[in-house]
Amino acid sequence: MTGTGLKTTFRIVKMDCPSEEQLIRMKLMGTPSVQALAFDIPNRKLEVYHTGRPEDVLDLLETLHLGASVVSSEQMQPFADPEADRLQTRILWQVLFINVLFFVVEMIAGLIASSMGLAADSLDMLADGIVYALALFAVGGAAGRKRRVAAIAGYFQGILGVLGFIEVIHRFLGRGETPDFLTMIIVSVFALAANAICVILLQRSKSDVHMRASLIFTSMDVIANLGVIAAGILVHLTRSNIPDLVVGAIVFILVLQGAYRILRLAR
């Protein structure tokens, strides 16, 4: 790249996990004026290397409703880092594979164990997979195509979330059978490990200092995994499916929130 550009630093209040980073990447990287992004998740800051006005970038960020505001802006020489882009693409494919794999594993396990917690957590993995897939699909893609794909993905995820929540209510009213607590715990432990691997992979393109700081933050995915593990323990102790239904309902709500954020990209 030639010529001069701007480096604008934004504060993103609600940016605290890798999935939100990918939402922002998808929103901005298809914009011709945006040349590169640098994320500081622990401090909830984003550096955007761009041409044009900072306000134009802010307008795009505000559509995600993550609490964006401009911190500073300065002139500098634009740059390109093809190797970093290739690394980012490779990592996105890796985490996409992990999320889709565990979506399938947790959904099957949830059906076999009669656990709504596992079923809900599988949709949470699918939600992350959709975000990573959209980020990959968006590379070099037209804005119109990105919006259409985001809309389809958002509605699909939202429909699954609503159906899951309805099933939780149905089981709560009818009580249903007690889920297999051992399957819940074992599968969730593996899902927790998978999420930890994804976090580590997503930090590989960053500096060691940033990686250590970013790992301090616990994503909602890890919290959901721990919730299902706790529900499995409580199911065993109480001989009731209520803990599983409560955790399932909470995670389904998180899934619906994720669908809403994805639909924001379609606007």
Domain range annotation of the chain: 5-80, 84-265
The CATH number of the domain covering residues in 5-80 = 3.30.70.100
What is the rounded distance in angstroms from the CA atom of residue 257 to the CA atom of residue 139? 25
Residue 193 binned pLDDT confidence (cut-offs 50, 70, 90): very high
Torsion of CA 157, 160, 165, 166, to 10 degrees: 140
Element (H, E) at 95: helix 82-113
What is the rounded distance in angstroms from the CA atom of residue 60 to the CA atom of residue 37? 14
Residue 117 clears pLDDT 80, i.e. is over it: yes
Closest to 110 in 3D by CA, of 224, 264, 28, 262: 224
State pLDDT tens for residues 217-231. 335 678 888 999 999
Residue 123 binned pLDDT confidence (cut-offs 50, 70, 90): confident
Average of per-residue pLDDT across 258-266: 74
Q: Which residue is listed with tokens 């919006």?
A: 147
State pLDDT tens for residues 93-115. 888 899 899 999 999 999 999 99
* Overall size of the chain counted in residues: 267
DSSP assignments along 183-251, one per residue: HHHHHHHHHHHHHHHHHHHHTTTS-HHHHHHHTTSPPHHHHHHHHHHHHHHHHHHHT-SHHHHHHHHHH
What is the rounded distance in angstroms from the CA atom of residue 16 to the CA atom of residue 220? 9
Residue 216 binned pLDDT confidence (cut-offs 50, 70, 90): very low
Residue 215 binned pLDDT confidence (cut-offs 50, 70, 90): very low
pTM, two decimals, is: 0.65
What is the rounded distance in angstroms from the CA atom of residue 161 to the CA atom of residue 157? 6
140 torsion bin: left (phi>0), alpha (psi -120 to 50), beta (else): left
